[in-house]
Structure 1
């Protein structure tokens, strides 16, 4: 039994660590409503919670010691804390997941409540001190209220998402129109910053967890969590002060020495787990706190339609009956209507009760906000540059522009200016964070080779493929193929080769984003997949389709022989067997054959005089040109990735897009002044429509004629 007690303690520790991880995630990302990322309601967490609640559901063990009694009651307090922390995670679920998890939570909590009631009735709880019975009944009531709040919130979340989704679509259209109404031309960094900031505001204020965390239900659950923790702390302090009794009746159960371990861990869990619900309660009030809001909140406890709309929809919906008797159908229908009318009334009662409970900490929040304002006023007195407490009319006007993109369930509510300013600052912070992670090697390569003239300017020499295929060329495959040829040149110093590999590796990260965002059709996906597998070989193993790039025959000491070896190897590699491996080999071989054949034909009889150093330089130049052509699509990628159709994934998608903008700002600025090829903008994302792959021949010919390559 003591080892079972340690199992309970370990399960409790896992729950605490998950709650701490959510705390750190919230502080790190400046989200004071602390979204649930690690401690969420699912099958795994419910299983761990069930293990952690072993003590209060154990009917077979009397547990008559003082420490046993406190541990059993402390588990109920710990359960209140965990339920308060889990509430925002309901917003991340679809209707099926929500129904399943709510039912599972109901079963777990109802089982816990029933068992505790049996223990109170039989005297198992309160064996020495009858006051423990009252505390146990109090926790039973708190658990029941929290369970009702979770169930009512589950009914509200689906309708809330629908309302927010409609408002998001309207805001997205407004953002696109604003982008088009700005000065014509290619998208620059400033335009992109404003566009991602607009979507950041929509994603942040329209996040399902943000909406749930700012609801009256979450505030009420936070108050209940804080009260239950305070009572548990007081009871523990009271009993521990009775040292003589504690020593006399220390352990009265079979769990023995594991009881204090469980008690201490769950006590810490109550303290740590109270932080997030308390902060959510503060955030829920401070995000929208104003005198007008307080007056409207106190004057009429209005129950908004989204709280009960789901129940009204169920009431008005028809039910398919398997019975044919008309009277039986009428009875079933009337029972359903009566049941739903009762549920609607209960839902309204719970909402009003939650709003009343949420008013309890309002004076504390007002006091905190008053202290913050006084501190800002004090700082402004010693800051000569601050205007009206650190704000100026220009910034005020920008915040008013951003306010159009704030998504809220109630049209008569306004997000406080301080909250809007905080969200705006978080965008700038994330962009600066991305700027520190800019791809330095890639930027250096693009600066060193500023060519862009090959895209769409020259006539292409068509090299027929080795086999009939429906697979289209993608950006990444020729880049990897050209890099493989460059890596194979034995006379090039390892440092130079490694620098090129690093540049291509950084570039392929963004090339992949272009491909996945703008040309992710089935015909492109197969080629892109082959390029990813091939790049892993080239970068990690210095191999090309299983062939060692550094293991040429001794006579292959010139650039021409090496190119011919690649061409012949690729030609011999193509087989007629169509399995997954052969398709990958055929795609890679076809790319290598066409590229090497283009280079060989461009030199004719002068190929033997081409040095490895000159070939490496030109291969690097061509790689840079292809990267340049591909990365001109980055602004379009950023605009595309700002919009995410799945509401649960929207915030993380915009987060990644903002960081992408920060990482690529220097690249976008460098490419801004380069002249685009005379092509349809719709063709720019596709390598096979702008002739970049055929760029090799005219570019090399141009290099020879201009003297960039000197024939020996």
Structure 2
């Protein structure tokens, strides 16, 4: 029983004790007990509401952190168009956004306080900012993902808009409860009028942003095809360079670096998010976002004197939501507004500005997708008359959509004039400033730097990918892309594999490769004979660290060098040898290396380091040979009984150990026990180093192959990975490029050049 009902019943008992109180009055008053009971029950139900408000605030904070992460990512990589890497459009982000939008979705909870009203209105402003930030993310999706996510966004925004319109009608979005009571009409006071007007403005902006997203998605589908065709043509041109073809062997590092620079320009200017940042819809989205945030600031100023006026069921959590979403709106505006001016800087010229102001041309890629749908066939069976009706109806609908799409694009271009006028004003101020400086004979040094850049990179423009042929990328943008490439190379050079370079210092040739399988020892299981690099390296390292009388610093140096080297060996094998058999051996090598490096075990057998009086180097080699032979026999027995388990992995590793240990034992013949463990260790280390060097000579080919990706969304990441690889191994390749390669193509070791 609630406190209100308890007090009421206590009062009724007191009235019963008075004889002069009419019984009819007491009976009438008792009818209110049920109303009080419902009120107390509702208060009990509303107790968790502040924590639900904190849940809304947490979802909003998650969105803000994602937007801030994208902001920092863009600043760190000098990408002032701020690509979406963390804050993207998918099922998870849409769910979180839906949680953050619970306040404007809430139809029946009254919002009597000023903070309550401001938080509900501010949530719509926050949604406008998030939609503006999400626009570039559309370019990262394939066709199916784009359609699915756009439909989900449409459903979310339309539901939000309908709910807000209902609340405007019912008065949930209105003035404070006290003013309603005083005036007797919830629509008569100024605050109610302002709140409803602001809500309608936000509804309009949300609908415009939704149309911007739909319009952009239609353009993206065709724009990607245009960029892809241009990329393929430029890619073929780059591959025809004879010097680049020669670089696939022991490349000239300078030419390889220029090759990557060209692909970096292609990947950067052909990046779908870079492409969408140059569209008119992006500029319009930035302008709308800025206006939304200004409106949010106005709402905050109207509420500033009543920050503790939280009278809804959410109580104090409304203030938390209001402040967090306001901060999110302010911070989230930076990226969309920056994209407006970044898009102008990409293609800025007075001629371009004049052409945009003179005529609003709608390019073909805006409506091509709709035109293709109009010409397409009907996707279901029906008779001829029905087909005629449906086809005519489809043409009418799509013609309307094409006209509407053109209207949206022209409207976006008109809105996009706002940042153009701002830039013109900035230019005028800049010219005035230069004139004033010239009065004092101050010379402009940056102009000299610009001409120097032009002379140095005059051919880079051939690799720029643009949607519109009549536009040229601004020189400042080209310089920024080139400087980013240089910075990435420099950063990667500082991450050079130190332990690997130190381990390979003594390697002068490929003699170890020739000794690796000099006696052509056949494996016990012929079907496991597959060429690879990684597994022999892991096997040889296992043998080396199993020798007991070796100094710890030498073993640690070997392990560190092999650990760093296997990263590149694995990359070489995954890029060049991608068949099922090779992949199986590569996985076996990776799994075995974890066991050897971390646990100092080989297929479950502890690599002990006993005293030298107990085991000689020859005895250890014999033990490894016999153990591997025993494992192979056990694997054959398991396969006969149908117990597959991890038998393939064990047989591959055991076969490798059997071949290598038998080769070493045969090479020393009967004198293996007279050879010191130090000599055996040095011999094996030399073979390991030579195998690593022989494998790493394939790195130029790997770099050239990896810088080209068939998927437009992953192209920039592929080139970035190639730049990272080149920077890390540049010094190594400079050392290796003049070495004579061994003629071992016919051997079973798996050498590839």
TM-score higher than 0.5: yes
Contact 1:22 / 1:35 at 8 angstroms: preserved in 2? yes
Task: Give the C-alpha shift of residue 171 in structure 1.
Answer: 1.0
Q: For 1:360 and 1:387, how far apart are their aligned partners in 2?
A: 28
Structure-2 change in CA distance of 1:649 and 1:459 (3 Å): closer
Matched, 1:196 2:244: no
Q: For 1:59 and 1:495, how far apart are their aligned partners in 2?
A: 71
Aligned partner of 1:494 in structure 2 is 552
- Aligned residues between the structures: 680
Structure-2 change in CA distance of 1:604 and 1:456 (3 Å): closer
Matched, 1:228 2:276: no
Task: Give the C-alpha shift of residue 455 in structure 1.
Answer: 4.8
Task: Give the C-alpha shift of residue 181 in structure 1.
Answer: 6.8
Structure-2 change in CA distance of 1:370 and 1:526 (3 Å): farther
Q: For 1:37 and 1:458, how far apart are their aligned partners in 2?
A: 46
Cα distance per residue 1:577-596 (max 9 Å; x no partner): 33241111111111111111
Aligned partner of 2:125 in structure 1 is 77
Between 1:364-373 and 1:198-207, the stretch displaced more is 364-373
Aligned partner of 1:599 in structure 2 is 664
Contact 2:264 / 2:719 at 8 angstroms: preserved in 1? yes
Matched, 1:171 2:230: no
- Structure 2 residue aligned with 1:344, among 402, 408, 416? 402
Query: 5 Å matches for 1:669-684?
Result: 669-678=734-743
Q: For 2:300 and 2:371, how far apart are their aligned partners in 1?
A: 46
- Structure 2 residue aligned with 1:308, among 352, 364, 367? 367
Contact 1:308 / 1:347 at 8 angstroms: preserved in 2? yes
Aligned partner of 2:422 in structure 1 is 364
Question: Can you give the 5+ residue segments of structure 1 that lack an aligned partner in the other structure?
Answer: 693-712
Between 1:397-406 and 1:51-60, the stretch displaced more is 397-406
Aligned partner of 2:579 in structure 1 is 521
- Structure 1 residue aligned with 2:496, among 432, 435, 438? 438
Task: Give the C-alpha shift of residue 446 in structure 1.
Answer: 1.4
Q: For 1:691 and 1:656, how far apart are their aligned partners in 2?
A: 22
Q: For 2:547 and 2:316, how far apart are their aligned partners in 1?
A: 70
Q: For 2:429 and 2:463, how far apart are their aligned partners in 1?
A: 29
Cα distance per residue 1:296-330 (max 9 Å; x no partner): 11111111100000000000001133333x22221
Aligned partner of 1:35 in structure 2 is 83
Q: For 2:61 and 2:445, how far apart are their aligned partners in 1?
A: 47
Structure-2 change in CA distance of 1:271 and 1:179 (3 Å): farther
Q: For 2:410 and 2:299, how far apart are their aligned partners in 1?
A: 31
Aligned partner of 2:592 in structure 1 is 534
- Structure 1 residue aligned with 2:216, among 153, 174, 184? 153
Q: For 1:234 and 1:416, how far apart are their aligned partners in 2?
A: 37
Aligned partner of 2:653 in structure 1 is 588
Q: For 2:445 and 2:203, how far apart are their aligned partners in 1?
A: 53
Task: Give the C-alpha shift of residue 145 in structure 1.
Answer: 0.1
Contact 1:26 / 1:33 at 8 angstroms: preserved in 2? yes
Contact 1:456 / 1:678 at 8 angstroms: preserved in 2? no
Aligned partner of 1:640 in structure 2 is 705
Matched, 1:424 2:482: yes
Cα distance per residue 1:480-519 (max 9 Å; x no partner): 0000011111111112111110000000000011001111
Matched, 1:53 2:101: yes
Structure-2 change in CA distance of 1:431 and 1:62 (3 Å): same
Matched, 1:399 2:457: yes
Q: For 1:396 and 1:369, how far apart are their aligned partners in 2?
A: 22
Matched, 1:5 2:47: no
- Structure 2 residue aligned with 1:15, among 49, 63, 78? 63
Matched, 1:268 2:333: no
Task: Give the C-alpha shift of residue 677 in structure 1.
Answer: 2.4
Aligned partner of 1:254 in structure 2 is 313
Task: Give the C-alpha shift of residue 634 in structure 1.
Answer: 0.5
Q: For 2:223 and 2:171, how far apart are their aligned partners in 1?
A: 45
Task: Give the C-alpha shift of residue 385 in structure 1.
Answer: 12
Aligned partner of 1:688 in structure 2 is 749
Q: For 2:725 and 2:437, how far apart are their aligned partners in 1?
A: 38
Structure-2 change in CA distance of 1:135 and 1:179 (3 Å): farther
Aligned partner of 1:627 in structure 2 is 692
Q: For 2:577 and 2:710, how far apart are their aligned partners in 1?
A: 18
Structure-2 change in CA distance of 1:545 and 1:457 (3 Å): closer
Cα distance per residue 1:87-142 (max 9 Å; x no partner): 00011111111111101100100011111111112222122411111111100000
Contact 1:482 / 1:619 at 8 angstroms: preserved in 2? yes
TM-score by length of 1: 0.91
Q: For 1:458 and 1:607, how far apart are their aligned partners in 2?
A: 17
Between 1:254-263 and 1:459-468, the stretch displaced more is 459-468
Task: Give the C-alpha shift of residue 670 in structure 1.
Answer: 1.0
Structure-2 change in CA distance of 1:233 and 1:471 (3 Å): farther
- Structure 2 residue aligned with 1:26, among 74, 78, 84? 74
Task: Give the C-alpha shift of residue 386 in structure 1.
Answer: 5.9
What secondary structure sits across from 2:104 in the alignment?
coil
Aligned partner of 1:211 in structure 2 is 275
Aligned partner of 2:621 in structure 1 is 563
Aligned partner of 1:239 in structure 2 is 303
Q: For 2:517 and 2:442, how far apart are their aligned partners in 1?
A: 64
Structure-2 change in CA distance of 1:174 and 1:445 (3 Å): same
Aligned partner of 1:656 in structure 2 is 721
Over aligned residues, Cα RMSD in angstroms?
2.5
